[in-house]
Structure 1
Amino acid sequence: MTQAGPLTRMQLLWCVVESIGPGTVLGGACAAALGGLHGFDEENVTVLVPPQRRPSPRPGVVIHHSARLGPTELCPVLHPPRTRLARSVVDMANWATRPQNTHAVLAAAVYQRLTTVAELRAATRTRGPIRQRNMIMKILGELERAGRSTPAKSARQ
């Protein structure tokens, strides 16, 4: 099927994942937005690829490598393939360039009732090497003490 005009966002996401090849999944803000997170939209498409893959750079695509892209990290039934919401949020927090952005994304995911502090902690523990681990765990402790560890409203994972 062909269409006149620009691609929809979903079509663009599919094109990026398919063009980069096997093992490619949406991650970070792209995956989190598909999981319902509001307020952190990015124009660029963020993908994760296995460490042995070396895709060529593409305009508008941010490529990260991850050795941890197994069943516990990925949404088993959602398409295009993507990381689970908690993993996506932890990645966003880890990649943030300012501490307030790290705090904002973690708090938003919990305040929007998309995930819980416990799920974010588990995703942080299983994430592997993570530059912002101490800061993320501290922020999650603050959110828990503030009473923001309530259950998510739905299982979008």
Structure 2
Amino acid sequence: MGKTRVISKGYRHGTRDKYSKKYRTKGRPGLARYLVNFKRGDYVDIVADPSIQKGLPYSFYHGRTGIVFNVNRNALGVEMTKIVGNRQLRKRLHVRIEHVRKSRCNEAFLHLVKENDMKKQQAKKEGKSIVCKRVPEGPKPMKTVTASPEDVEVLAPLPFVENYF
């Protein structure tokens, strides 16, 4: 009679490395984590903090980015897409503030928008029209390669030799 193997199916199964904290960051989070202001529409990264068990998201969502759709006293409502089989589902979950960080995924876009607004203002002052669209890099300019007749070497295959009797 063989032994029956019990496979753990708990809420935190398989998260030994995923939820382990980095060197010199162990313990409770600092005050700065609680003083961040979140607004609806903000991009946030869900990074589970294992030192706080309350409001801990399921391990699948660790490291994912979503958009805030609701702000509560202690938690944020975060909406994201999850691929299940061949479809994308909109998932909404409430996560405590300790497990959420402001995302930097939108920084480059916001910087570009600010730059374009400045360019538009400058162009308006000068009375010009400006195109702010990004244009893909075109083909490289043409080059002509010249070679002297001495440098050209013609390669020809060796003649076939039968070497059997």
Larger helix fraction of residues: 1
Bigger RCO (CA 8 Å, 6+ sep): 1
Band the TM-score falls in, shorter-chain normalisation: under 0.3
Structure 2 length-normalised TM: 0.23
Structure 1 length-normalised TM: 0.24
Of structures 1 and 2, the larger Rg is shown by 2
Larger strand fraction of residues: 2
